[in-house]
């Protein structure tokens, strides 16, 4: 099994290819949680702001990443006279629209996601009454009569479902409306992995160390009792993780490039060949 980069990240990356003068452009946060892509962007001359930094870019233009930003933040950048190049993924826009629609109904918003993730900061930036919970353990009685639930686009469907069940259990009096904003590439990866896990002994997950969906894939394997190794590139593979005859599965986070996947796959085949028994001459 192998899933490469999702369309949202791919399109954002393609947009950077069209930019003629990268040194005039600040990328607002990490375009993708993928170190080799970031190094390539830096080599082309793009200015890259640290995630969560608040200072205004010093370039003429600012590129909003696939993770998106709040309307408030967009206004701040535009008021500073910056040209805005927007590569926000359409599925992140859908999540923003869902959260705003629920907030407009006067609901207390519960976001199931990572509080310090750039996408979640953008998602909550235009909302006053909200809480971000990572999973079911963060659920309490929120003391709200009307609740709206959305998720970070890359939350694992199982984590979302479990948290949702707990929200209903602990808030029995509330009028709860749910908008499932998990993106299809994330859902496809998790569903593909669920099919794969019973067939493998070891899982290799390729993706950035700060990529939430990559961590979720590794966690799903660990929960199923399958040893999982989270690597960023083929160079991280260690032959000692594998034994002859083990079945190895391969998957990747949404910001992993196809060429990285191909390199990991090739290295795994190389490791497999190195473990094959050497044919012995037949002596009669
Ligand atoms: S992970 Fe999903 S929401 Fe995020 S950029 Fe990719 S397709 Fe869009």
Query: How many Å apart are CA 212 and CA 217, to the nearest integer?
Result: 9
Instruction: Give, for ligand 1, the residue of 5, 89, 208 to mutate: max count of ligand atoms closer than 8 Å to Cβ.
Output: 89
Angle at which helix 7-17 crosses helix 35-44, to 10 degrees, equals 20
Fold equal for 91-182 and 185-275:
yes
Architecture of domain 185-275: 3-Layer(aba) Sandwich (3.40)
Q: What are the sequence ranges of the domains in the chain?
A: 7-89, 91-182, 185-275
**What sections of 105-227 are H helices per DSSP?**
118-124, 157-170, 184-196, 212-223
**Distance (Å) from CA 197 to ligand 1 centroid:** 23
**Distance (Å) from CA 86 to ligand 1 centroid:** 14
**Distance (Å) from CA 184 to ligand 1 centroid:** 8
- In ligand 1, the atom with minimum distance to the C-alpha of 183 is 2
Q: Which two tokens stand for residue 116?
A: 């310090």
Query: Sign of the CA dihedral 197, 194, 114, 4?
Result: positive
**Distance (Å) from CA 60 to ligand 1 centroid:** 27
Query: How many Å apart are CA 254 and CA 273, to the nearest integer?
Result: 29
- Which protein residue's CA is at the shortest distance from atom 8 of ligand 1? 8
Determine the pLDDT at residue 284.
Answer: 43
Architecture of domain 7-89: 3-Layer(aba) Sandwich (3.40)
146: three-class secondary structure by DSSP:
strand
The answer to whether 176 and 147 are in contact (CB under 8 A) is yes
Query: Using a 6 Å CB cutoff, which residues line ligand 1?
Result: 6-9, 66, 89, 91-92, 153-154, 183, 185-186, 254
Instruction: Tell me the mean pLDDT per 10 residues along the chain, length 284.
Output: 77 94 94 82 93 88 95 96 97 98 98 93 96 97 98 93 98 97 92 92 90 86 93 93 91 87 94 75 51
* Prediction pTM value: 0.86
Determine the pLDDT at residue 140.
Answer: 98
Neighbour-count burial for 123-137, b at 16+ CB within 10 Å, e otherwise:
bbbbbeebbbbebbe
The answer to whether 228 and 203 are in contact (CB under 8 A) is yes
**Distance (Å) from CA 122 to ligand 1 centroid:** 14
> What is residue 138's DSSP assignment?
G
Bridge-partner residues for 112, per DSSP? 133, 151
Determine the pLDDT at residue 57.
Answer: 94
- Which protein residue's CA is at the shortest distance from atom 5 of ligand 1? 8
**What sections of 105-173 are H helices per DSSP?**
118-124, 157-170
Centre a 10 Å sphere on the Cβ of residue 23 and count the other Cβ atoms it contains: 12
**Distance (Å) from CA 276 to ligand 1 centroid:** 39
- In ligand 1, the atom with minimum distance to the C-alpha of 90 is 8
Query: How many Å apart are CA 235 and CA 164, to the nearest integer?
Result: 39
- In ligand 1, the atom with minimum distance to the C-alpha of 9 is 5
Q: What are phi and psi of 44, to 5 degrees?
A: -80, -10
Neighbour-count burial for 154-181, b at 16+ CB within 10 Å, e otherwise:
bbbbebbebbbebbeeebeebebebeeb
Instruction: Give, for ligand 1, the residue of 4, 186, 215 to mutate: max count of ligand atoms closer than 8 Å to Cβ.
Output: 186
Q: Please name the residues in contact with 264: beta carbons below 8 A apart, sequence gap of 6 or more.
A: 204, 206, 231, 233, 234, 237, 250
- Which protein residue's CA is at the shortest distance from atom 7 of ligand 1? 8
Determine the pLDDT at residue 43.
Answer: 95
Architecture of domain 91-182: 3-Layer(aba) Sandwich (3.40)
Query: How many Å apart are CA 179 and CA 197, to the nearest integer?
Result: 28
**Distance (Å) from CA 134 to ligand 1 centroid:** 18
134: three-class secondary structure by DSSP:
coil
**Distance (Å) from CA 88 to ligand 1 centroid:** 9
């Amino acid at each position: 099994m192998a899933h490469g980069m999702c369309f949202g990240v791919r399109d954002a990356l393609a947009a950077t290819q069209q930019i003629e003068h990268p040194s005039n452009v600040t990328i607002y946060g990490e375009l993708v949680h993928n170190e080799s892509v970031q190094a390539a962007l830096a080599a082309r001359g793009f200015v890259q702001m640290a995630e969560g930094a608040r200072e205004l870019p010093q370039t003429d233009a600012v590129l909003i990443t696939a993770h998106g930003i709040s309307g408030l933040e967009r206004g701040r950048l535009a008021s500073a006279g910056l040209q805005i190049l927007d590569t926000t993924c359409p599925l992140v826009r859908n999540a923003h629209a869902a959260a705003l629609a629920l907030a407009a109904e006067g609901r207390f918003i519960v976001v199931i996601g990572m509080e310090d993730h750039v996408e979640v900061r953008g998602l909550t930036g235009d909302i006053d009454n909200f809480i971000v919970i990572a999973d079911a353990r963060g659920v309490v009685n929120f003391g709200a009569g009307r609740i709206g639930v959305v998720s970070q686009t890359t939350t694992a469907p199982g984590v979302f479902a479990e948290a949702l069940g707990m929200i209903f259990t602990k808030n029995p009096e509330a009028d709860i409306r749910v908008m499932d904003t998990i993106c299809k590439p994330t859902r496809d990866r998790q569903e593909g992995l669920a099919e794969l896990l019973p067939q493998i002994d070891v899982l290799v997950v390729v993706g950035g160390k700060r990529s939430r969906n990559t961590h979720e894939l590794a966690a799903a394997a660990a929960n199923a009792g399958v040893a999982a190794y989270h690597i960023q590139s083929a160079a991280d593979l260690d032959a000692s993780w594998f034994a002859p005859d083990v079945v190895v599965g391969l998957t990747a986070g949404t910001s992993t490039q196809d060429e990285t996947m191909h390199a990991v796959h090739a290295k795994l085949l190389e490791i497999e060949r190195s473990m094959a028994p050497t044919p012995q001459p037949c002596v009669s």
